[in-house]
A and B are shown apart, each in its own frame.
Chain A
Amino acid sequence: MNDIPVNLKAMIEARGLTKVYKMGTTEVRALNGVSLDVFQSEMVSVIGQSGSGKSTLLSILGALDLPTSGSYKLDGREVATMRDDELAALRNQRIGFVFQKFNLLARSTALANVELPLTYAGVPSRQSRKRAAETLTLVGLGDRLDHKPNELSGGQQQRVAIARALVNNPSIILADEPTGNLDSRTGEEILELFHKLHEEQKITLIVVTHDPKIAAQCQRVIKLRDGVVVPDDDTRPLMTYEALRNATLSEHSDSH
């Protein structure tokens, strides 16, 4: 039985993150001083309405964008001041990102898409093919290696994207509305996959969503409004951790 997350090391430490976009002459403050911690092997959801800054926050946590100010430490290393090449290495080695729109290379096979991070990591071709195939098998697409994205369903495409995020054994997986482009049943299957990865591989997961039902399945909910975190008492976990755990366990035993 796991301890509650407070006893674990903080994997993500964000302090006073701001992000300002210049739209012509006006400035838009997408983030206005966000501080948060995420612990190892936690499954956290970030919720908020459209425009609340949740996707901006996730991009910064995923090193896809840099904050205008503030500090962001991943595994104790400051990311906000990293050089371009260090960021690339970080994205490659430590972070897996799952997009709402999948963002697969449309004309490459599932296998080639999943191999991509390994190629950039310098893994030789034979090994990267093997690992990509294994990861695709893990997400349930072992029989679709040579299919191109347009030959796959939306759910299958998202599984390819998840395999791509997983393939380099990252510390953390960030998912931005991962079920947003999927019907509800397929969305649930994707969430089940996340739960399974979380349970079996102890992967740290942050899921951005506007769907309270998804948020309810996470251990902790961080709520954003107008670029700031809404105080904790307002975003009490919808379930206690124990309840959540029992719920996810029973769900998994149902599905197996």
Chain B
Amino acid sequence: MRPFQNIRIAIEALRANKLRSALTMLGIIIGVGSVVSLLSVGNGAQESILAQINGIGTNLVTVVPGVLTLNTSRPPAAGSIGAGARPLTDADARAIEERVSNISGVAPEFTANGTTITFKRTNILAAARAVTPDYLMVRNQTIGEGRWIESSDMSTAARVVVLGADAAESLFGELSPIGERIKVANVPFTVIGVLNRVGGGFTGNPDQSVYVPLTAGYRSLFGSRAAYRGDNRVSVIYISALNNDELETVAEEVTTVLRSEHRLKIDDEDDFTVLTQEQFLSIAGAITGILTIFLGAIAGISLLVGGIGIMNISLVSVTERTKEIGLRKAVGAKRRTILIQFLVETVTLSVIGGFAGIFLGWMVATLISATGVLQATVTPNSVALAVGFSFMVGLFFGIYPASRAAALQPIEALRYE
């Protein structure tokens, strides 16, 4: 018995039973397709969230006032100041800049959410962010047009403004805003630049924001709102560490500096919170982990349904196939030949169905990506999981009844009801 004749017999049996073959394959296609597409969505969501977190800055350490505990907190909304907590100040930022080593930049920010921005007759609401020149680098943003805030703007408290991409578009449409005068909370400012779009909104929407020099903000916009004991409040301080390895050290040094600035005793709790990008990532990782488990559960159910489909088809055809096996044995098929035939049938269906399922899952992932909601990416793991499972189900429900039937004497198999 030559090997290719085994394959020939199996292919002939599959072709002779097109409906049964198609239904079995359908079970595999549905199982594999749903697992691949669902896990690609979960994976895409995870990647997109992690990318946003990475996008908020480079080796970023974030300091917010008040105490956030990781268990209960949301990521801090920029500008929210814990009621009664000691605020962070401009002086805190300067102290960090002077005393913490291995940092490439310190960017304090004072935020006034919901500020009215006016150009001619157009009004929009945007976050007015008073920042320093370091902010651009620390927050990983780039200038699209014009220029960014410079130290000379800081020293003169110049009334200049850089627009986020969305803010620029809603105020000016296609026109270039550079050099135009707009009003920020009714105070006239001159537009000097427009930022590139960054997307996302992990710490407020950076595109729907306008950026002014910190000094100008204090002098012209916020006034007494920002004053605190002869200094100026900041909503948040961003610190960029020189490299990723220094992140934890920088966070510890920042804590030490701020504790001494705030004159905390050894037993006192911190009255501020230092978050590293790693911590953001771990929070987000926990959230996306739940998402992935959830999608995985749905995918698992799909696999189960697909598996039950395969099982049904196999069990329904057991009687017919048992007789077929009896007949094949009666005309001289050896037990091994029968098993090889069923193995080849199962492998053929699994491979074709598996590929079709992967293709289906990939199509769904591509369609979802095309909507722009998220970038669904098919991972080798999900493909291996889905194909492996379907293959096992097919193998078990295809081979197990066949091997039982092949063990019978031909006449018993022929009489099987």
Which residues of A does B touch, CB under 8 Å? 59, 62, 64-66, 84-85, 88-89, 91-93, 97, 99, 103, 105, 107-108, 112, 116-117, 119-122, 125, 164, 168
Using Cβ atoms and an 8 Å threshold, which residues of chain B touch A108?
Answer: 12, 16
CB within 8 A of B331: which of A65, A117, A125?
A: A117
Q: Is B1 in contact with A122, judged by CB distance below 8 angstroms? A: yes
Minimum CB–CB distance for B11 against chain A, Å: 12
Q: Is A103 in contact with B327, judged by CB distance below 8 angstroms? A: yes
Asked if B352 is at the interface of the complex by the 8 Å CB criterion, the answer is: no
CB within 8 A of A125: which of B8, B17, B329?
A: B8
In the assembled complex, the Cα of A105 lies from the Cα of B335 at a distance in Å of: 18
Using Cβ atoms and an 8 Å threshold, which residues of chain B touch A112?
Answer: 12, 16
> Which parts of B302-336 form the interface with A (CB within 8 Å)?
323-324, 326-336
In the assembled complex, the Cα of A168 lies from the Cα of B330 at a distance in Å of: 13
Q: Is A122 in contact with B2, judged by CB distance below 8 angstroms? A: yes
Q: Is B332 in contact with A89, judged by CB distance below 8 angstroms? A: yes
Given known A91-B330, A107-B16, A108-B12, contact A120–B337 (CB-CB < 8 A): yes
Identify the closest chain A residue to B16 (Cβ).
A107
Which of B76-84, B92-100, B370-378, B406-414 is the contact stretch?
B406-414
Using Cβ atoms and an 8 Å threshold, which residues of chain A touch B101?
Answer: none
Given known A88-B333, A120-B337, contact A66–B327 (CB-CB < 8 A): no
Q: Is A103 in contact with B330, judged by CB distance below 8 angstroms? A: yes
Asked if B178 is at the interface of the complex by the 8 Å CB criterion, the answer is: no
Given known A64-B409, A65-B412, A108-B12, contact A91–B331 (CB-CB < 8 A): yes
> What are 18 of the A-B contact pairs (CB < 8 Å)?
A59-B411, A64-B409, A84-B334, A88-B332, A88-B337, A89-B332, A97-B331, A103-B327, A105-B324, A105-B327, A107-B17, A108-B16, A116-B328, A117-B331, A120-B334, A122-B2, A122-B5, A164-B331
In the assembled complex, the Cα of A66 lies from the Cα of B329 at a distance in Å of: 14
In the assembled complex, the Cα of A84 lies from the Cα of B409 at a distance in Å of: 9
Q: Is A120 in contact with B411, judged by CB distance below 8 angstroms? A: no
Using Cβ atoms and an 8 Å threshold, which residues of chain A touch B17?
Answer: 107
CB within 8 A of B335: which of A84, A89, A91, A93?
A: A84
Using Cβ atoms and an 8 Å threshold, which residues of chain A touch B331?
Answer: 91-92, 97, 116-117, 120, 164
Identify the closest chain B residue to A101 (Cβ).
B414
Identify the closest chain A residue to B336 (Cβ).
A85
Q: How many A-B residue pairs have CB under 8 A?
A: 72
In the assembled complex, the Cα of A8 lies from the Cα of B234 at a distance in Å of: 116
Q: How many residues of B contact A (CB 8 A)?
A: 27
In the assembled complex, the Cα of A119 lies from the Cα of B11 at a distance in Å of: 13
Identify the closest chain B residue to A89 (Cβ).
B332
Q: Is A91 in contact with B1, judged by CB distance below 8 angstroms? A: no
In the assembled complex, the Cα of A107 lies from the Cα of B18 at a distance in Å of: 10
Question: Could you tell me the dominant secondary structure of chain B's interface residues?
Answer: helix
Using Cβ atoms and an 8 Å threshold, which residues of chain B touch A119?
Answer: 5, 8-9
Minimum CB–CB distance for A133 against chain B, Å: 17
In the assembled complex, the Cα of A64 lies from the Cα of B16 at a distance in Å of: 25
Q: Is B332 in contact with A120, judged by CB distance below 8 angstroms? A: yes
Most buried by B among A64, A93, A122, A164: A64
Using Cβ atoms and an 8 Å threshold, which residues of chain B touch A164?
Answer: 331
Beyond A85-B334, A91-B330, A121-B332, list 5 extra A-B contacts (CB 8 Å): A88-B333, A91-B332, A97-B330, A105-B327, A112-B12
Using Cβ atoms and an 8 Å threshold, which residues of chain B touch A168?
Answer: 332
In the assembled complex, the Cα of A65 lies from the Cα of B412 at a distance in Å of: 8
In the assembled complex, the Cα of A84 lies from the Cα of B413 at a distance in Å of: 14
Q: Is B332 in contact with A93, judged by CB distance below 8 angstroms? A: yes
Using Cβ atoms and an 8 Å threshold, which residues of chain B touch A66?
Answer: 409
Q: Is A105 in contact with B16, judged by CB distance below 8 angstroms? A: yes
In the assembled complex, the Cα of A121 lies from the Cα of B328 at a distance in Å of: 12
CB within 8 A of B414: which of A88, A99, A105, A116?
A: A99
Minimum CB–CB distance for A149 against chain B, Å: 11
Most buried by A among B331, B334, B337, B411: B331
CB within 8 A of A88: which of B323, B334, B411?
A: B334
Using Cβ atoms and an 8 Å threshold, which residues of chain A touch B337?
Answer: 88, 120
Using Cβ atoms and an 8 Å threshold, which residues of chain A touch B333?
Answer: 88, 92, 120
**Ordered nearest first, which 8 A-B pairs have the shortest CB separation?**
A92-B332, A107-B16, A64-B411, A120-B332, A117-B331, A88-B334, A59-B411, A64-B410
Q: Is A64 in contact with B8, judged by CB distance below 8 angstroms? A: no
Most buried by B among A85, A89, A91, A122: A91
Q: Is B409 in contact with A103, judged by CB distance below 8 angstroms? A: no
